[in-house]
Every structure is written in C-alpha cells, then in structure tokens.
Amino acid sequence: MLKKIFHLIIIALLSVSTIRSQTTSGTDFWLTFGRNWAVYPGDLQIRIVGGDEATTGTIEFTELGTSVPFSLSPYEVYTYNLDNDQKNAVYNTNMGISDKSIHITTHNNKAVTVYAMNQQGATTDATNILPITALGTEYYQISYAPLSLGDSYAVVATENDTKISHNGEIPIPLNKGEVYYCTSATDMTGAHITSNKFVAFFALCVLTGIPPYGGTADHLYQQLAPVHTWGYNFFVPTSHLGIERVRIVASKNGTKIDQIGGDFIYSSSGGYTIDAGQYIELEVLLDNNGCFIQSDNPIGVCTYLTSYTYNGSGLLISDPAQAWLPAIEQTAPNALIAPFIPIGVTNLTDHYAIVMTYTDAAPYTEVSIGGGTPMPLSGGYGWYDNSDAEMSFYIMPLTNLNDSYYFTNDAGLIVLCYGVGPLESYYYLAGSSMRNLSAAFSANGVPYTEMTGDYLFCENEITFTTAITGSSEMDSLRWYISAHNSTVLVHDPLLDDLETWTRTFRAGNYLVKMEVYHNGNPEPLVYEGTLCVGAWIKLSPRPGGGGSAPFINDCFKVGTILYPVAVPN
C-alpha cells in the first residue's frame, strides 16, 4: 500500500559541509550538445533568465578558447544562438574525449537559470542546465530505445584529474572542460556512470520513437540529476496531449516500486521489484490525473512525450521528448523559466508549463510574467487533482515568448516545460530543488564518505552529527561502533535516536555504522565509515648512547614505524 507523504525537512547539523542545499538556479554551469539526427549541427540555442537582481556573465567555448559576454536586468531573458564555428565546437558526433563544452558563469554571484535547445528540422529537444552546486559523482543513464543512429550520453568534467567509469570499467581520465561522449547501438538505460569529482551528465539519444512503434521519431536531450538527489515519492503529470511514457530506474538491488495511476508496460525484472540499473516503464494518462509512485530505495524517473500517432492528438502534433522528473521531496518555493524561441526551420508552435504543487496549496500558486505583478494561474487547462499523491498540476500556455515566467508557492512546487508542433516537440525540467536526499553523518565535520581509514583524526574527542534531508519522517536512529581495533560492530543503545553525540576514543581504528529507519520502512538506510584516531608522538634528539632519535612532534596511525631501529650484531 502506498504511504502518505510527510512534508518535512530534518536537518540536524553542526557543520554544513556534510550536505548542500541546491536548486536548478546558480552561478556556474557546464554543458555540451550531442548529435541530433544529422552529422552536422542544426540550430543550437542557449537561454539565460535573470533573477531578481541585475547581473553580467560570460559564455565560454572551451575548444575555441573564446567567450561571449552577457548582461541581464532583473527577470530579463537573454537568448544566444550559436554561430557555425561555435556549433561545431560543442556538437559531439564521435565517441571519445573532446573539448566540446561550454562554461557559463555570472560575475557578481547572482543566480540565473540556464536552458539549452538542440534543434533540427522536425527533431528537437531541450534541457535545463544544472549549476555546479547540483552536480554529483554518480549517475545512471535513462534514455530510450534508439533507431539506427544509436543511443548516447555525454559527461563534462568540471575539474582537472577527473576519472569517470562506465559500469565499473577502467576509468577514463578527463581534465576541466573535457567531454566524454559515449555511443551505443542499443538502449543504454541503466548504465552506471561514476566519477571521483563532480561532473555534468547528459542523456542523449540521436533518434528514437516513443513507443518504438509510434510512427515518428525525434532527438532526446536532457541533463540528468545525480543519484544523491533521487527520492522516494514521485508525482507524474501529463501534458495536454493526454498520454505519456515514464521510466523508473533503481539505484539499489531489491528496490520495490508501488504506483497508482500508471499502466504497466515493461520491467527489466518482469515485475515491480528491480535491481540497481534495471528499470520499469509505465504509461500515464491525463484522464487519471497523473500517477503516484513510491519506492523503498531512491529511484530516478524520466517522463516522455510520445509520437503523435500514439497519443492521438491529431494534426500531426508532437513527437518524442524527454524530461527529468524530480521527487516530490524536491519541491522549491519558486521557479524562474522562459519558453524557447525556435529559429531556422521549425514546426514548434505552442509552448506550455506544467506546474505541480500540493493540492491544498494549489490555490495559492502565482506567476509573475516579465517581472510584473504576481497573479493566480490562468488561461490554461485548470488544476488536475490527484488524491493518492495529494498533489495537483496545472497546464499553462506560455504565450509571452520574450518574457520570463516566475512561479511561486511557499508550500513548494516543481515546474516542467514543453513545446509542440507538427512532428516536433521538446520537454524538460524547468525548476525544482536539487537537495541531497541521502542521509549522512559526519565526525568532527568530516563526512562519513571520507572516513575510509586513510583519513586520520588527531583529536580524541569526536563529535558525530547526523544530516537527514528531504520529505522524510525519521522513525528512529541506531548507532553501531566496534571496539578498539576490532572489526565486529556492536549496537550501542545509549546512542539510539541521538542526532548529535560526542565520545572520547583512544588511538586506534573503529568501525561506525548509522541506521536510519524512516517513513515506516522496515529496512533501514545504512551508512558506514572507519574512524582512524591517531596518537601524538613527541621525541627530542638524544645525544650519545650509541645513537640518536630525530625530533618528532606529530600525529600518527597506530602501528606506524617512525624510523629504522638498529639491531645489535
């Protein structure tokens, strides 16, 4: 049975270093483009939307070593159409490493939102661009079955000495601004991409039909969010076209999926329990007022527009397109978006926003167009209420193509954007939070992920701090600690349900495990680290006596050999 959602954020934290607050707006972005159906680029466009303060910035082209300045007044929309040299410098067609990236930054630390469109005749898609603060080191590819030209993804490195791996294979080295473009003749949904430093990950498919027998095909282009932002509760809306496809990918083995409102299409496992990298595909109807999905482990979800012959929209309207769908835990109080203005050869005629929020808060949702007076949503299809999710969505036409749309609701919202026309469409996440939804703990401010035994603590008094974020009801906490230099974990009931606690440890190694029981789930979230406490050694030079010792005043791991010891003959 699906559980009710708790609209609660728990943050018990002494040091914010263990977890970061993120949204789809920011000041520093990396992006690239994948191949559309043609080997040469069509029209590539970037849109930057200013926030509530004026800002300036640059669009840098890594391969060319050139940049373009921009300036924005509050809520202004800046549209940049790439010239031919710039297109060729960012358009990936061959598998391998290149410098085909774009780096967008603001100069005065003022947040903006960024979007990109890859457009060719009747094959278009668009994506939001995530700021560096919302990136991560673990992703799964979520795409769709390609036609003859293949499936693909692109990874952009944001730092030097980055190493990425596909399904645990030999790491691929990248430096800052370099792009790894991967192609396959088959659907790569479920491929596991990991890195040692933050990277931007883009799901790309040269050409696909949705469903495969849908009759028409289109390009897919969507930046995906890292696994640490994945959630447990999802509300899937639909466009006014009435029928969408959804893919759900698991991050852990044995993930159980519950859903109401979707029709089962396919599962890698054959059922609703899937392992890491496996996926389930659903069909969602507007007539059902959307679909409510829950899981017992974090999942990633993408929603897709379908071919016009499948959704029955008539007049050849729409084609396949892909959007990342955040968990309900990722609602934000506002979202700043702008519709695209297609250039060149295009069939796109109509643009829409899908605004999602909690049903009891829906009447309080407002929009400001071009920085104007906030007003209730109007001119659309009205609110669609889903009692199972206790969520509602509103489909609103975006008719002011040169203006920004600023949606607000203090209770939280998520906004998707799409555009359609004869044989053409795009779909993307327009605005949400990108919180780290993982539980975590730190020891003296050091995240548990860095406590591998290589990190040496030179203090004996250690303070442990819990961080739990997202829409989660924590039922209980359990702590386990091994004895000095032991590998056997022992439950310590004195520490249960303590979100912050301090203990003095003597020098040595200790295993520490935190179990988080939440939302009534019988299985806990488990987080482990190795606490390596050092010993302080102080030695002064010793003259005579057949030898001498060097001056030492430092912290060492237990068992460290400080210097060779002479052995008598």
What are the DSSP calls for 367-429, one per residue? EEETT---EE--SSS-EEEETTTTEEEEEEE---TTS-EEEEEEEEEEEEEEEEEBTEEEEEE
pLDDT score recorded for residue 15: 27
DSSP 3-state assignment of 129?
strand
The most confident of the ranges 61-70, 474-483, 543-552 is: 61-70
Answer yes or no: do 421 and 444 share one domain. Answer: no
The torsion defined by the Cα of 79, 84, 87 and 88, in degrees rounded to 10, comes to -170
Cβ atoms of 454 and 311 within 8 Å: the answer is no
CATH number at residue 499: 2.60.40.10
Summarize pLDDT for 536-566 with one digit per residue, the tens: 887 766 555 555 556 778 898 888 876 654 4
Residue 202 lies in a domain: yes
Answer yes or no: do 36 and 131 share one domain. Answer: yes
Residue 276 lies in a domain: yes
pLDDT score recorded for residue 18: 27
pLDDT score recorded for residue 446: 82
Answer yes or no: do 345 and 445 share one domain. Answer: no
Answer yes or no: do 391 and 446 share one domain. Answer: no
Residue 392 lies in a domain: yes
Amino acid 532 reads C
161-181: average pLDDT: 97
**Structural domains in the chain (count):** 2
Query: What percent of the chain shows pLDDT beyond 70?
Result: 89
Summarize pLDDT for 323-381 with one digit per residue, the tens: 999 999 899 999 999 888 888 778 889 999 999 999 999 999 999 999 999 999 998 88
Summarize pLDDT for 127-167 with one digit per residue, the tens: 999 999 899 999 999 999 998 789 999 999 999 999 999 99
pLDDT score recorded for residue 473: 55
Distance in angstroms (rounded) separating the CA atoms of residues 120 and 345: 7
Distance in angstroms (rounded) separating the CA atoms of residues 30 and 267: 33
Q: Is the dihedral of CA 312, 318, 324, 327 positive or negative?
A: negative
The most confident of the ranges 76-90, 121-135, 522-536 is: 76-90
Q: Is the dihedral of CA 248, 254, 260, 266 positive or negative?
A: positive
Q: How many CB atoms lie within 10 A of CB 554?
A: 13
Residue 1 lies in a domain: no
Buried b (16+ CB within 10 A) or exposed e, 107-143: eeebbbbbbbbbbbbbbbbbbbbbbbbbbbbebbbbb
Residue 21 clears pLDDT 60, i.e. is over it: no
The overall average pLDDT reported for the chain is 88
Answer yes or no: do 298 and 444 share one domain. Answer: no
Residue 420 clears pLDDT 60, i.e. is over it: yes
Expressed in percent and rounded to 5, the helix, strand and coil fractions of the chain are 5, 50, 40
Stretch (H or E) spanning 310: helix 308-311
512-529: average pLDDT: 78
Q: Where is the domain boundary, 400, 431, 462?
A: 431
* Cβ-proximal residues to 334 (8 Å cutoff; 6+ apart), any chain: 406, 407, 408, 409, 413, 431
Answer yes or no: do 462 and 500 share one domain. Answer: yes
Answer yes or no: do 369 and 497 share one domain. Answer: no
Write out the two tokens for 413. Answer: 């919202």
Residue ranges of the alpha helices (H) in 444-545?
none
Distance in angstroms (rounded) separating the CA atoms of residues 537 and 522: 47
Distance in angstroms (rounded) separating the CA atoms of residues 434 and 133: 9
Residue 558 lies in a domain: no
Residue 402 clears pLDDT 50, i.e. is over it: yes
14-39: average pLDDT: 73
Summarize pLDDT for 206-246 with one digit per residue, the tens: 999 998 876 688 999 999 999 989 998 999 999 999 999 99
Stretch (H or E) spanning 173: strand 172-174
Distance in angstroms (rounded) separating the CA atoms of residues 372 and 448: 46
Distance in angstroms (rounded) separating the CA atoms of residues 421 and 427: 12
Residue 185 lies in a domain: yes
Cβ atoms of 237 and 384 within 8 Å: the answer is yes
DSSP 3-state assignment of 16?
helix
pLDDT score recorded for residue 450: 74
Answer yes or no: do 417 and 492 share one domain. Answer: no
Write the DSSP symbol of residue 146: B
By residue range, what is the domain housing residue 57?
A: 22-431
Answer yes or no: do 228 and 293 share one domain. Answer: yes
pLDDT score recorded for residue 539: 72
Amino acid 249 reads V
Q: Where is the domain boundary, 390, 405, 431?
A: 431
Answer yes or no: do 353 and 486 share one domain. Answer: no
Residue 412 clears pLDDT 60, i.e. is over it: yes
Residue 244 lies in a domain: yes
* Cβ-proximal residues to 316 (8 Å cutoff; 6+ apart), any chain: 308, 422, 423
The most confident of the ranges 380-394, 526-540, 553-567 is: 380-394
441-466: average pLDDT: 85
**What are the helix and strand counts (H, E) for the chain?**
2, 45
Answer yes or no: do 135 and 270 share one domain. Answer: yes
Greater confidence (564 vs 253) lies with: 253
418-435: average pLDDT: 91
Residues facing residue 484 across a β-bridge:
none
E strand spans, 185-307: 192-208, 218-223, 231-236, 243-250, 255-260, 262-267, 273-274, 279-285, 291-305
pLDDT score recorded for residue 193: 97
Answer yes or no: do 421 and 452 share one domain. Answer: no
Residue 545 lies in a domain: no
pLDDT score recorded for residue 195: 95
